[in-house]
Each structure stands twice: as structure tokens, then as C-alpha cells.
Amino acid sequence: MLARVWFITGTSSGLGRALTEHALACGDIVVATLRKPEALADLSSRYGSEALLVLRLDVTKMDELQAAFGRARETFGRLDVVVSNAGYCVLSEVEGTPLDVARSLFEVNFWGAVNTTREAVKFFREVNNPPGGRLVHISSMTGVNPSPSASYYSASKHAGEGLMEAMSGELNPAWNIKVTIITLGAFETRVMKESLVRVPQHPAYAYEGSFTSMARQWTETVTLPGDITKAARAIHQISGDDDVPLRVALGEDAIEAVLTKSARLKEEVERSKHYSSDLKADTSL
């Protein structure tokens, strides 16, 4: 079986690192991108340049992304799977978050994913022969069922899911590009530890029973239930499944979050639909 060529963003740790390791262990080829390439020195030593190309990349910079996809083309000639994974989380209240902090989050989580997606689609259509490929967008259950105290993170993931879902309907079937949104549950990674940006609590939200106060305490001690290496294994399997749906809730907690949101939406629509009973334009005049 021909080895698949992967292009993965955000590979320094967490899911990106785990997916890189799993793909390599399965005999695939990986273009691993990250801001600090030295973080993958051990994998470069173990697998060599024929299986692993490590590239410095800041996904917010379009010139760097284009250069990285160019290097992938020069080195391997094709890409079979592109995983848009780079991102981080901000813990804060909406009102208490400096706008530059919120915008920086969106630059990585949303616009970085947009940049990666645009280059991936172009590569799959114009470089691969025959055209085609799998675009995997790593989202979060908070992108479907938002979490107070992670409001801007939730919003960035929600925006990403909306973009990917809409774009999937734009693609010409002849291009043979498959889009998969991974709505990820809670897996133990650096996202909730070292890379979590903590904004000081807005004084108005330090009231008794404040959800954001509880969330801040929770993140100090929590050990998340999911095994990230098992998530990487599952995503590797999903990437090769032609029958997988557009969106995959990965993790029992993610499934529960999506089903809870779905039920709540249904209830809200049922309770409010009478407001729409007489809104059609009168065409008889």
C-alpha cells in the first residue's frame, strides 16, 4: 500500500505531535509544521528526511504557508491529507478580555485555519494528479456547545466549523476533495496547561457561584479524560474512511455535548416558532 503524505500544522505537542508520531509509525510520510522546529528533533533523528519534513510555520503568515506547501510539493510531489490543527485557548470573560488578545486568538484559530484550508484546496486541485485529498479540520466540542470562560475560543471554533461546512458545499465533486470536521472532546494536552492563556478575572465576575471563577479553579487541577494518542489513532483511521460524515464528534464527552446542544436547539425552536406564524408577505394586494 502506497504511503500517504500528510501536512499537519501545530505539531510541537498535543494532538499535532501525537498524529505525526502515529502516521510515521504507520509508514506514512509527514510534513510537520510548527513555530519551533527543534521540538521535533527526536523524530527527525528517528525517521530521517525521507519520511519526515519539519518546517517552521506561523499559520497567521500567508507567505510562510505558501512556502511550506511549496516545499511539500518540491519534496514529495503530492499531499494526501492536510490537518489544520494549530490553535490555543484563552481563559477569560468576554467583557474582561483585551481586544488585542481576542484578535490574536482569532488570527491563529480561525484565520490560520482559513489560510491552511485555502492552500490545501488549491494543492489538492492543482498539484495532485489525479486531483483529490482529505482536509481534516480540528475543532472542539465548544465550537458546537460553547463554554462560558472560554467564550472567544468557543467563538473561534464555531466560526471555523461554519466556514468548513459552508465551503464543503462549494467544492466541485470532480476535485475529489473530502472535508472532515473533528469536533474534539476533552483530551489531555498542553491546551489546558502550558499553552492556556489566562486573562485576569474581571472584578465584576468574582461573584459567588460565578461559572468563570469555578472554571479558573477547575483548570488548575483537572486531568482531562481523553488519551490524545488514541485520538490520533482514530483520526488516522477517519482520514482513510470514504464513508465518514462531514462532522465527527470524537470522544464520548463530545458526543454528549453535541447531542445536548441539538436537543436544546430543537426545544428553543419549538417554543418560539409561533412568532413566525404570520410573517409572510401578503401577495394578494
Active site residues: 139, 153, 157
> Which residue in 157, 149, 153, 156 sits closest to 92, CA to CA?
149
Cell 528533533 -> residue: 41
Nearest-Å Rg of the Cα atoms of the chain is 21
Grouping H, G, I as helix, E, B as strand and the rest as coil, residue 170 is: coil
Q: Where are the beta strands (DSSP E) in 101-194?
A: 133-140, 177-184
DSSP element (H, E) containing 257: helix 252-272
Cell 419549538 -> residue: 270
Strands lying side by side in the sheet with 133-140: 52-56, 29-34, 5-8, 81-84, 133-140, 177-184, 247-250
Contact criterion met (CB below 8 Å) for 220 and 122: no
Handedness of CA 218, 91, 21, 85 (dihedral sign): positive
